Amino acid sequence: MEGHTRNFTEIKSAKFDDENLETLTSIEQIKVENLVEKCFDRIEQLSSMDNTLPYFYRKEHIRFLERCLRFLSTGYECLDASRTWLVYWILQSAHCLNFKFSYEVLGDVIHFLKKCRCPSGGFAGGPSQLPHLAPTYAAVLSLCLIETDEALEAIDPEGIKKFLWSVREENGAFRMHVDGEIDVRGAYCAITVGRLSGISPQNKLFEGTANWIAKCQTYEGGFGGSPNLEAHGGYSFCGAAALALLNDVSTVNLKSLLRWAVYRQMRYEGGFQGRTNKLVDGCYSFWMGSLVHVIQMLIEKNSCHDGYTINIDELMFHREALQEYILICCQKPHGGLIDKPGKPEDLYHTCYTLSGLSIAQNFNSTKQPIVIGNPDNEVLPTHPLYNIAPKAVMKAYFYAQQHPIESEEDLVGCTKNQHNDEQNPANGQKENEGNADQ
Ligand SMILES: CC(C)=CCC/C(C)=C/CC/C(C)=C/COP(=O)(O)OP(=O)(O)O
Ligand SMILES: [Zn+2]
């Protein structure tokens, strides 16, 4: 597909236009739409000379990542307890861009991540810090992304299991760290690192977790951080992906979740907002884009249980519009991606905006990706539940299978053979690699 796909003059009618309503929110919304409009106008003018626009600054993004892996500005000091996150954001962005760091560099990364491993199990955000579920998640995903035996060996599943038990509540919810806050990120990080290190969703660790997550669904349809909080894209992704990884959707309302999710795509900007009446942001390209993908997987899976089959062969958001927002409004020409026009580049937004671009382009591996602009704008697929390379998920599953840690007593109402069948991603795997869990 060449060039952009929407007529930017025509879609101006989608801008906010209620003259009778002036609130802080509407004023901010109008300001953002005007910034986006400038970006759209510029690309429309340039397109008359070059119909392969919008351009993807791949080389510049790669240079940005290479630089950040070795040197960060003082602005990153506040993320000293999130250094495993910085590693993950860099490695996952590099994956999307199809860029491979050298073995030497990756060796240094493994060495660093091992220093973040805690004696009591799990990972901290930096050496000599306390174990925490979020940096544990980032460290495990990073090691899986590296894919080598040396990296997978560094995960230490026994330690992970011990740490997960130390943050589990009796009702199946998870604290982010010992004595820390309970929220749906905890459940998602726990089931993710559990599954990647060979712990079954049937493990007693996760008894009650799906029911607890379902309590976070709000009247709007999305999930809040914990029961009775506002629906938000980040937590909704965590909730839906955790339920998919637990193979249990019996307790949620998928229809209202889907409705809430698809309405978060902004009609003028094309990107997603994270909650009702808030602003577009590049990072929700992944949290919301992937959420829609995950909900569709859950609806398909649930329909089989109900005795009829639904096959959804198209993603239920405007894939081209999201790519336009990302490519036209979220790239810095000197490298790095951003929340919205006028914001500075950072690693978090680079990772999740690129990952969202990947979700928008690659829905079904049996079909051609949908790529706007130059065909060279294509990025590699990402796994919608884990947000790492689908191949990296496979490798981690097989590695864990070859190095089992579980005993039958750990499992709830399930025989060892059943458990093994479910752990094997090759069993019942759909053609779409991204659906490896289903
Ligand atoms: C795996 C893992 C740890 C996932 C984290 C998920 C995630 C992104 C949660 C969102 C957190 C949050 C309170 C955002 C609100 O930001 P805001 O109020 O600044 O933004 P908004 O105006 O867009 O809501
Ligand atoms: Zn953001």
pLDDT for 308 equals 76
Per-residue pLDDT band for 425 (boundaries 50, 70, 90) equals very low
- Judge whether 305 counts as a catalytic residue: no
pLDDT digits (tens, 9 = 90+) for 19-63: 888 999 999 999 999 999 999 999 999 998 998 999 999 999 999
Per-residue pLDDT band for 3 (boundaries 50, 70, 90) equals low
Q: Which of 283, 329, 330, 351 is catalytic?
A: 283
pTM, whole model, 2 decimals?
0.94
Per-residue pLDDT band for 436 (boundaries 50, 70, 90) equals very low
pLDDT for 303 equals 84
pLDDT for 194 equals 98
pLDDT of residue 437 exceeding 70, the answer is no
Q: Average pLDDT of 185-197?
A: 98
For ligand 1, atom 23, the nearest C-alpha belongs to 274
Q: Which of 88, 137, 188, 284 is catalytic?
A: 284
- Judge whether 339 counts as a catalytic residue: yes
Per-residue pLDDT band for 196 (boundaries 50, 70, 90) equals very high
Q: Give me the residues near ligand 2 (ion), CB cutoff below 5 Å.
A: 281, 283, 339
Q: Which of 6, 63, 259, 278 is catalytic?
A: 278
* HEC readout, the chain: CCCCCCCCCHHHHHCCCCCCCCCHHHHHHHHHHHHHHHHHHHHHHHHCCCCCCCCCCHHHHHHHHHHHHHCCCHHHHHHHHHHHHHHHHHHHHHHHCCCCCCHHHHHHHHHHHHHCECCCCCECCCCCCCCCHHHHHHHHHHHHHHCCHHHHHCCCHHHHHHHHHHHECCCCCEECCCCCCECHHHHHHHHHHHHHCCCCCCEHHHCCHHHHHHCCECCCCCECCCCCCCCCHHHHHHHHHHHHHHCCCCCCCHHHHHHHHHCCECCCCCCEECCCCCCECCCHHHHHHHHHHHHHHHHHHHHHHCCCCCCCCCCCCCHHHHHHHHHHHCECCCCCECCCCCCCCCHHHHHHHHHHHHHHHCCCCCCCCCCCCCHHHCCCCCCCCCCCCHHHHHHHHHHHHHCCCCCHHHECCCCHHHHHHHHCCCCCCCCCHHHCCC
Q: Which ligand is nearest to the CA of 347?
A: 2
pLDDT digits (tens, 9 = 90+) for 390-417: 999 999 999 999 999 876 668 886 544 4
pLDDT of residue 364 exceeding 90, the answer is no
Query: What whole-number percentage of the chain has pLDDT above 70?
Result: 92
Q: Average pLDDT of 73-96?
A: 97
Instruction: Judge contact between 205 and 171, C-beta under 8 A.
Output: no
Per-residue pLDDT band for 309 (boundaries 50, 70, 90) equals confident
pLDDT of residue 273 exceeding 50, the answer is yes
Around ligand 1, the residues with Cβ closer than 6 Å are: 134, 137, 185, 188-189, 232, 234-235, 238, 274-275, 278, 281, 287
- Judge whether 195 counts as a catalytic residue: no
Q: Which ligand is nearest to the CA of 353?
A: 2
- Judge whether 283 counts as a catalytic residue: yes
pLDDT for 430 equals 40
Q: How far is the CA of 436 from the centre of ligand 1 (A)?
A: 26
Q: How far is the CA of 279 from the centre of ligand 2 (A)?
A: 10
Per-residue pLDDT band for 365 (boundaries 50, 70, 90) equals confident
For ligand 1, atom 1, the nearest C-alpha belongs to 185
Mean of the per-residue pLDDT values of the chain: 92
pLDDT digits (tens, 9 = 90+) for 123-157: 999 999 999 999 999 999 999 999 999 999 999 99
pLDDT of residue 431 exceeding 60, the answer is no
Per-residue pLDDT band for 92 (boundaries 50, 70, 90) equals very high
Q: Average pLDDT of 331-345?
A: 98
